[in-house]
């Protein structure tokens, strides 16, 4: 059985259909619903996904790739599982699969890593493969994880006795409002996300927003908004970002959403609170990345230090988030702010306030922010609309620049 498993996986790898763009080869990840660079390890990962789908008959909705342990509540754990297979409840983990490139040996260390992930997530099955060799383990009540033959189907995996055992329902521990009002607490626990130069008065809001995006137990439900449709809240994922000059790097901790615009074009949009700038002048940004299927880039780097204002209203203090409409348009450089504002105003007039700034949202200083709270929903709708319009604006400007170059 094991030989047949690895033969099937190997065949899938050999017959992959790859797309090429800018001298890079891509393979479509059905789980993440995007094209990803076809590295040797990625080819193996996608072959295993295909094997579980078509040979073991696993519904694609129960297969997740590149999943952070934090998604299942292990906030201090920076590990990421290559593939997780869920049980039919869509919540608890049935199997963990660790994938390696074909030139990486499935060593004792690799097996130990695989079993550590499985034990952490309380998964019954654990697999590791490089496309040439496959090792399979199952959990035994008396002996722990032991080698097994490759299961015959997803159904047979779920018919196991192990399903009677309860799996820990993990809970993301959030800081209380009281803790979020302590600058010392925030500086100590959020130094990865908040710049050293960020003003103390903004720390409670930024840490609150950061926790909101990382609170992966609460999801936004699919919904049709004014300018787009939210297809799915994808939770916490890694995004591969293209930067000027052709470099590519992986950024983690994005809260990702799959949306469809008015023209039925699909985008994956990620949001992450991040440190920005040099050590001496560190600021904090809300990075908004957009992936249209072939290229992922930062469509907006909202500097929170200069775009968040504290307002005193009858109901108490609020943090108002706006943007000055200053953006870059590829090799054309910085766009004229008045052109951006006019374009946004023509498309969605309510986004522009006093013809000077783009209004994104406002948050109460006395409430924990959640993706399901009214304040966040307003912010989410405005931000996604704004980012999609910025993409449209850039496309128009770049198309005009290309036409001018061609005419020359």
pLDDT in tens, 265-310: 999 999 999 888 876 688 999 999 998 876 678 899 999 999 999 9
Q: Could you give all domains of the chain from N- to C-terminal order, each with its CATH number?
A: 2-164 (3.90.1570), 177-407 (no CATH)
* Interval 379-407 mean pLDDT: 82
DSSP state letter for 408: -
Please list, in sequence order, all residues whose beta carbon lies within 8 angstroms of the beta carbon of residue 242, skipping any fewer than 6 positions away.
248, 295, 296, 297
pLDDT in tens, 241-260: 766 555 444 455 688 899 99
Is the model's pTM score more than 0.85?
A: no
Q: Nearest Cα to 289, choosing from 376, 383, 215?
A: 383
Percent of the chain scoring above 70 in pLDDT: 83
Reply yes or no on whether the pLDDT at 201 is more than 90: yes
Helix (H) or strand (E) holding 127: strand 125-129
Cα separation values, 176 from 107, 367, 383, 403, Å = 44, 10, 26, 54
């Amino acid at each position: 059985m094991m030989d047949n498993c690895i033969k099937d996986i190997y065949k899938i790898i050999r017959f992959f259909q790859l797309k090429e763009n800018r001298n890079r080869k891509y393979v479509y990840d059905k789980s993440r619903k995007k094209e990803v660079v076809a590295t040797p390890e990625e080819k193996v990962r996608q072959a295993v996904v295909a094997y579980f789908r078509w040979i073991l008959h696993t519904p694609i909705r129960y297969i997740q790739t590149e999943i952070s342990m934090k998604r299942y509540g292990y906030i201090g754990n920076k590990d990421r599982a290559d593939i997780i297979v869920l049980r039919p409840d869509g919540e608890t983990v049935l199997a963990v699969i660790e994938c390696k490139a074909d030139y990486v040996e499935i060593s004792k260390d690799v097996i130990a890593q695989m079993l550590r992930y499985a034990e952490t997530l309380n998964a019954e099955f654990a697999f590791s493969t490089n496309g040439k060799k496959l090792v399979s383990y199952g959990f035994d009540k008396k002996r722990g994880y032991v080698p097994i033959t490759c299961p015959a189907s997803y159904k047979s995996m779920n018919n196991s006795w192990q399903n009677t055992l309860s799996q820990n329902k993990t809970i993301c521990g959030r800081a209380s409002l009281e803790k979020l009002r302590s600058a010392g607490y925030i500086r100590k626990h959020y130094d990865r996300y908040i710049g050293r130069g960020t003003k103390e008065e903004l720390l409670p809001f930024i840490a609150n927003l950061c926790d909101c995006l990382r609170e992966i137990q609460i999801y936004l439900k699919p919904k049709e908004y004014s300018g787009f449709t939210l297809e799915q809240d994808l939770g916490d994922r890694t995004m591969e970002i293209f930067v000027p000059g052709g470099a590519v790097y992986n950024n983690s901790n994005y809260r990702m959403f799959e949306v469809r615009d008015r023209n039925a074009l699909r985008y994956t949009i990620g949001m992450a609170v991040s440190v920005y700038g040099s050590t001496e002048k560190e600021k904090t940004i809300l990075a908004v990345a957009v992936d249209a299927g072939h290229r992922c880039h930062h469509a907006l780097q909202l500097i929170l230090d200069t775009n968040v204002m504290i307002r005193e209203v009858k109901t108490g203090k609020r943090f108002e988030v706006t943007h000055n409409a200053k953006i870059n348009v590829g090799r054309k450089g910085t766009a004229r702010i008045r052109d951006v504002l006019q374009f946004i105003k023509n498309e969605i007039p309510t986004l522009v306030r006093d013809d000077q700034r783009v209004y994104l949202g406002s948050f109460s200083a006395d409430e924990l922010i959640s993706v399901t709270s009214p304040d966040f929903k307003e912010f989410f709708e405005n931000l996604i609309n704004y980012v999609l319009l910025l993409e449209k604006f850039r496309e128009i400007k770049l198309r005009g620049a290309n036409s001018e170059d061609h005419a020359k």
